[in-house]
Amino acid sequence: MSRTTRRLTGVAVAGICAAALAAPALAAPTAGPGTSTAPGKTQFPIQILSFNDFHGNLEPPSGSSGRIQTGPASTDTTNVGGVEYLATHLKQARVGHPNTVTVAAGDMVGASPLLSAAFHDEPTVEALNTLGLDITAVGNHEFDEGYKELQRLQHGGCIDDGPDGLNNQNSCAAGTFTGAKFQYLAANVLEKATGKTILPPYAVKKFNGAKVGFIGMTLKDTPSIVTASGVAGLEFTDEVKTANALVPVLKAQGVNAIVVLIHQGGNVPASTPYDFTCQGGGTLSANSPIIPIAEGLDPAIDMIISGHTHQPYVCSLPDPAGKPRLITSASSFGRLFNETDVTYDRRTSDIVRPTTADSRNMLVTRTVAKDAAETALIAKYKELVKAIATKVIGQLTVPLVSRTANAAGESPLGDLIADAQRADASVIPSGGTAPVISFMNAGGIRGDLVADANGNVTYEAAFTVQPFNNYLVSMDLTGQQVIDVLNQQFINSAGNPARPYVLATSAGLTYTHDKVTVSNVKLDGVAINPAATYRIVTNNFLSDGGDGFPAFRTGANKYFGGLDIDAFANYLTKKSPYTPGALDRVTLAP
C-alpha cells in the first residue's frame, strides 16, 4: 500500500548554483600507465568511474541486452550486467584509489524493467545510492514522467497512487522514499517561467583541496524524443553554448579541471567488440552527433563522458585548440563501466593535458560475488511486485513473438501491437468513430514477447515489450497525411535522407517502399484517397511528432484513450492463444 506523504512540486535551482560533493576514501593508489608525469608532490592521480544508460536494469538483462561482443565474431559474446555485479566491480575498482569519483551520463531511469518501473523507478535510485554513484547528468528518459517527477526522484517524497496502485505503479510501496544521494545535473534544461535550471548545472568534487568540476547536460533535441507532457514548460538549450558559458563560472571558483557529462553520443562500426572503438582499430562514425559537440566545447574542458547511443567507445577527439581530448561511453544497461585515471597538477589546478589518460571500458562480468546490499534490495522489490508481475494475461502458440523486422521493416511483434492499439475501445470518443489504421514506432518496442514453458504470457513479459506507459491517441488524418507519415519513415526531421525507420501498421494497411518513398498505399485493398479522412490511432509520443514524424502533429480531433500497455494486455487476453500472422503488410520494392 502506498504511504501518502507528498508529491514534490519542485523548486527551480538558479542556473549558477553548484553542488559540492564528498568522495569516499579508500586505500592508497598507484599511478596508471599513460599519465604524463609520475605523481609527485605537485601531481597525483584521480580515478573517474563512469557508466550511462542504465535504464533501471537491476536484475541481469536477458537476451542480447545482457550480452556484449568480446571477440571479432558477432557470436563471441560474454554475459554481463546486473546491479549486484556492477556494484561489486565498482567497489573492486576503487581499491587503491583514495581520490575517486563515480559519475554517469544520463538515462539512469525510464524505459525500465517492471521491477523498477512498477515503483516509479524508486528502486533504481535506491540501488544507485547503494553502489556509490556521486553525480549524473539527466538524460531524455529522466523526463518520461515530467520534470517535477525528476525533482521528486532527486529530493524524495511519495506519490499518492491509491491503496492498490494506479496504472500498475505504486510509489513508496516499501514505506518511504528519501530520494537520490547522488546529484542530478541539468545545465541545459531551463524552466521557461523562471529562466532557471530545474536542477544544478554543475557540481564540484574536492580531492584534498583539489577541485574538479562536472557539467551535466542532456541532448538539446530531448523534446523531439520525449512526450510533450514530459517536457512541458521547459527549454533545452544548445549543449556547446551551455557548457562553454559555465567554464568561466567554474574558473572564477578556482576550478580549472572540468569534465562534461552529456547524454549524447557517438556511433561505432557494427558487429565489433566492445573495446574496438577507438582502442582496437575502429573509429567513431563520421555522422556521430557527439562529434560536432566535442569539436565545439571549450579547450578548458578536459574530458567528455557521453551516452544516449548505447555504444561502447574510448576515443580521443581534438578540441578547438587542436589538442586531443578523451571521450568515453560505456554501452548500456550496466554491462560495462569505464575506468579513467587522470593526473591532477596542483601548480595549474588542472588535469594534465595533452595526455593519453589510462582509460578503458570494463566488463561487468557475472563471475564476481554479488553485492549483498543490492541483492537484498532486489529481493524486497521482487516480493512487492509479484502481484503485478505474475498475472497471466494470455497465451502464445509459439515460444515468442519477435520484434526483429524483415527486410521490408515489418516485424511480428510490431504487427501485434499495432493491431492491439487499433482494437482498443478506450480511443473511441462517445458517439465517435473507431480507428481504421494504427501506427507504432519500432523504438518503443523494447523486447520480444516471450511466453513461459507453458505458453503463458505474464504482465511482466508484456511490460518488458512496452515499458513507457504511453497513452493512446486517436485522430483524423487525411489520406495525404497518412502517405506523408509513411514517407517520413525515410526522411529525418532535418529533411535529409535517414536510415529507414519503418513504423508498425495495423492489418489492412498495405504499401510498397524502396527505402526512399512509398507507393501503392491501400486500406483493405482499396487505394488510399488523399482527400478522404481516416481515423487513426498511435501513442502520444508519435502524436507529438516524436522520432521525426511531424505529420502526426497536424492530426485533427485528437482524443486521448488509455495506456498502450493496457491495450496490449487486453488484446492478448482476447486473442489467446495467439499465433503470429504472415508479414504481408509492407513490401520492399525489387
Question: pLDDT tens for residues 435-471?
Answer: 999 999 998 999 999 999 999 999 999 999 999 888 8
By the 8 A CB rule, do 217 and 137 touch?
Answer: yes
567 — pLDDT class (breaks 50, 70, 90): very high
Nearest alpha carbon to residue 414 among 491, 509, 497: 509
SS3 content of the chain, % helix, strand, coil (to 5): 25, 30, 45
In order of 47, 48, 299, 316, the CA distances from 357 in angstroms are 10, 11, 16, 10
pLDDT of 19 higher than 50:
no
Please give the pLDDT value at position 163. 63
Tell me the average pLDDT across 237-246: 98
Look at residue 498 and tell me whether its pLDDT is greater than 60. no
Q: Choose the weakest-confidence range: 68-77, 223-232, 379-388.
A: 223-232
Residue that wins the pLDDT comparison between 141 and 227? 141
Q: Is 502 helix (H, G, I), strand (E, B) or coil?
A: coil
Confidence of residue 68 (pLDDT cuts 50, 70, 90): very high
Dihedral sign of CA atoms 307, 231, 156, 193 in order: positive
**Average pLDDT for 307-324:** 96
Cβ atoms of 296 and 253 closer than 8 Å? no
Query: Of the ranges 171-175, 301-305, 569-573, which one carries the lowest mean pLDDT score?
Result: 171-175
Question: With 50 as the cut, is the pLDDT of residue 425 above it?
Answer: yes
Q: Has residue 223 got a pLDDT over 70?
A: yes
Please give the domain boundaries of the chain with CATH numbers for all domains: 43-374 (3.60.21.10), 392-588 (3.90.780.10)
Asked whether the predicted pLDDT for residue 341 surpasses 90, the reply is yes
Give residue for cell 553554448.
241
Q: Is it the case that residue 12 has pLDDT exceeding 60? A: no
Which is it for strands 533-539 and 437-440: parallel, antiparallel or unpaired? parallel
Q: Which residues pair with 475 in a beta bridge?
A: 536
φ, ψ dihedrals at 367, nearest 5°? -95, -5
Neighbour tally for 179: CB within 10 Å: 19
Provide the grid cell at 425: 475501445
CA distance 17 to 29: 32
Looking at the chain, the number of H-run helices and the number of E-run strands are 12, 32
Show Cβ contacts of residue 257 under 8 Å, excluding neighbours closer than 6 positions. 210, 211, 212, 213, 302, 344, 349, 350, 351
Write down the pTM of the prediction: 0.82
Phi, psi of 280, rounded to the nearest 5 degrees: -120, 20
Are β-strands 336-345 and 358-363 bridged in parallel, bridged antiparallel, or unpaired?
Answer: antiparallel
183: number of Cβ within 10 Å: 22
Which one is predicted more confidently, 33 or 355?
355
CA-angle at 453, arms to 451 and 459, nearest 5°? 35
At residue 325's C-alpha, the angle toward residues 322 and 331, to 5°, is: 140
The pLDDT of residue 496 is above 50: no
More confident residue, 32 or 125: 125
Q: What is the mean pLDDT of residues 550-567?
A: 92
Beta strand residue intervals within 70-200, DSSP E: 77-79, 100-104, 135-137, 183-185, 189-191, 196-197
Q: pLDDT band for position 36 (50/70/90)?
A: very low
First and final C-alpha spacing in the chain: 58
- Residue 346, pLDDT > 50, answer yes
CA 175/CA 5 separation, integer angstroms:
10
CA distance linking residue 348 with residue 299, whole number of Å:
15
Q: Chain-wide mean pLDDT for the chain? A: 90
Residue 309, pLDDT > 80, answer: yes
Q: Model confidence over 163-173: pLDDT tens digits? A: 666 667 889 99
The answer to whether the bond into 577 is cis (omega within 30° of 0) is yes
Q: For residue 193, is pLDDT > 80?
A: yes
Residue-wise pLDDT tens digits, 127-171: 999 999 999 999 999 999 999 999 999 999 999 887 666 667 889
- pLDDT of 355: 59
pLDDT above 60 for 381:
yes
Q: Tell me: pLDDT of 3 over 50.
A: no
- Among 255, 200, 230, CA closest to 17: 200
